[in-house]
Amino acid sequence: MPLPFGLKLKRTRRYTVSSKSCLVARIQLLNNEFVEFTLSVESTGQESLEAVAQRLELREVTYFSLWYYNKQNQRRWVDLEKPLKKQLDKYALEPTVYFGVVFYVPSVSQLQQEITR
């Protein structure tokens, strides 16, 4: 059975993209679990963040963002308005993106959703 977007699953259990219009983003969650998303090469950081939030069933996305290690091995937040692929190609040390907390609240009672806590 063929996979969508021209993806091929090799014996290594890794995806390769045969289409230049797709990107398989590998994102590490807060619990160190990795998830992979198939995105358009034009997908912005915001669209990538929303894909993670949807997978986690998270509605309070404003407290979180995505980041990566730049070529100087320093953390850099993903610009949510720019395409993710361009940022990773230009600045990233590796293609892995990390899901992280960007804002802290003084009291967890301010958070609406249990999963956000």
Q: Tell me the backbone φ, ψ of residue 84, rounded to 5 degrees.
A: -60, -45
113 by Cβ neighbours in 10 Å (0-12 / 13-18 / 19+) ranks as exposed
pLDDT per 10-residue tile (average), the chain, 117 residues: 51 52 89 92 93 91 92 94 92 91 68 59
Residue 82 counted as domain residue: yes
Contact partners, residue 83, CB within 8 Å, separation at least 6: 41, 42, 43, 44, 45
Domain assignment present for 9:
no
Q: Say whether pTM exceeds 0.75.
A: no
Owning domain of residue 88 = 22-116
- Closest by CA to 53, choosing from 80, 76, 75, 74, is 80
For position 99, what pLDDT does the model report? 95
Q: In this structure, is residue 71 part of a structural domain?
A: yes
Q: How many other β-carbons are positioned within 10 Å of the β-carbon of residue 88?
A: 18
The CATH number linked to 61 is 3.10.20.90
